[in-house]
Amino acid sequence: MALNGTHLLVAAEVWVPWVLLRRDDNGTLLSSGILIEFMNIFASKLNFTYSVIKSVDGEWGRFLPNGSTTGMIGMIQRKEVDMALGPFSITYIRSKVIDFSVPLYIDNFGIFLPRPRQERDLAGFTKPLALEVWVTLLLVIAASVVLGVFANWVTERWRLPGTQGVKEGYVFRPSWLLRALLLEPVDRLPTSLTGRVLLGAWLVAGLILGSAYQGVLTSLLAVPRVAVPVDSLQNLVDYGRLPWSVEYGTALHQLFGDAKSGIQKKIHEGAFLVTSLFEEKERIKTERFALLCDFFSMKQVMSDDYSATGTCNYYIASEVIWACPMAFTFTKGSPIVQHFNKWLMMMRESGLVNRYLDELTSNATLCMLPPGKERGIITLVLSLTDLAGIFLLLVVGLAVSTIILAVEKLVHLF
């Protein structure tokens, strides 16, 4: 048969659910996981036996400045083992010192972070209009008041014709601006052309601004939107309030470490290193930091977490950092690669690999929706917290009016 009873030394490191390693009471290394199941199939079909050897330093494999390699890649390069399970990202720099099998699957790499939640905002009632709109509106109000006061002064001084119907000859009243913005009726309309043009412009502007504000505010209250502060590497750096990490000794660690400039260099300089997503999944929720890794691991953590808690606690940023085929690795020029490739192709084409991937991430579907959409369209009951800004505005208004009342009475008395 193909390998004629050959015994292979196989390097491996823990990557749930691909490879699981533990030692029994006697110190014997025990292995399990999807790739161990695959290896048992290969062993029966190709007639070989194998022993699993743990990575010497816990790394997958990086290239050091002196040309040597770490982790399982280094073990293969030094021919300490015949192959390594991984699965490993297929990269050009790795292909110089090792051989890859045909890909098991192709995966994306991205940003995994705590799920953004709806934040309570006391100034939420101002959100229907952008800051520049509010500033522009205040400037226009100020300009209109100045123009109106000037028009009143001119009318009073020279008694322009056509103003006899307006009390004291006024063509402008400050209350008209407030009534126009609040879509309230206006009494004592101006009789002068200047006043009518000014008031007409404000009535039209007030109708548009007021209607737009009411419509957007209604939609924001009825269907709250959750802000997503980080959806790309640039967002991650610019946001500044979410630390980020990279899995130690991986291809992504190598990718960022080799960067000479740009956003990838900034990511490398600002990152701290962790062993794996599965060891850090709870800490991501409690200490709130991002981790850059593969999509399959993200989806599986999401799926497991949703099965356990019934809620979505994680988010995958929309930007794909990198896409890469994943495969087994062998010593350079190894004759056993072609035998493995034959059976790997058959397993992949039969859908066995995809079946495993889909089963392990099936419960992540709901959590892949945008934040705030996990439960679909629901009827929102507004709480006091939701409308705290409005009530705060009313309290301030009542306090100011009380102070003004007191001042008016004091002035009247003295």
Pairing of strands 314-316, 105-114: antiparallel
- Boundary residue ending a domain (195, 223, 251): 223
- Paired with 99 in beta bridges are 330
In a domain, residue 172? The reply is yes
pLDDT over 60 at 103, yes or no:
yes
Specify the higher pLDDT residue, 342 or 403: 342
CA of 375: how far to CAs of 118, 124, 311, 312, 394, in Å?
Answer: 14, 23, 10, 10, 33
pLDDT band (50, 70, 90) for residue 377: very low
- Paired with 12 in beta bridges are 54
pLDDT above 90 covers a percentage of the chain that reads 40
Looking at residue 414, its amino acid is F
Rounded distance between C-alpha atoms, residue 155 and residue 29, angstroms? 98
Residue 163 has what pLDDT? 45
Residue 48 has what pLDDT? 92
In a domain, residue 230? The reply is no
Q: For 302-354, how does the pLDDT look when each residue is reduced to its tens digit (9 = 90+)?
A: 999 999 988 889 999 999 999 999 999 999 999 999 999 998 998 888 888 88
Specify the higher pLDDT residue, 88 or 405: 88
In a domain, residue 287? The reply is no
Q: Work out the average pLDDT over 367-383.
A: 66
| Number of domains into which the chain is organized | 2
In a domain, residue 215? The reply is yes
- Boundary residue ending a domain (183, 198, 223): 223
Q: For 223-244, how does the pLDDT look when each residue is reduced to its tens digit (9 = 90+)?
A: 666 778 899 999 999 998 899 9
Specify the higher pLDDT residue, 201 or 312: 312
Q: For 74-100, how does the pLDDT look when each residue is reduced to its tens digit (9 = 90+)?
A: 999 999 999 999 899 999 999 999 999
Specify the higher pLDDT residue, 256 or 118: 256
In a domain, residue 271? The reply is no
Q: Domain residues for 131?
A: 124-223
pTM, two decimal places: 0.69
Q: Is 202 helix (H, G, I), strand (E, B) or coil?
A: helix
Position of tokens 């100020």?
142
In a domain, residue 385? The reply is yes
pLDDT over 90 at 384, yes or no:
no
- Boundary residue ending a domain (223, 247, 263): 223
Long-range own/partner contacts, residues 144-151 (CB < 8 A, 24 or more apart): 144/177, 144/198, 144/202, 145/174, 145/177, 147/172, 147/198, 148/172, 148/173, 148/174, 148/198, 151/192, 151/194, 151/195, 151/198
In a domain, residue 86? The reply is no
pLDDT over 90 at 111, yes or no:
yes
CA of 56: how far to CAs of 13, 165, 253, in Å?
Answer: 9, 96, 18
Residue 13 has what pLDDT? 93
Q: Work out the average pLDDT over 202-223.
A: 76
In a domain, residue 313? The reply is no
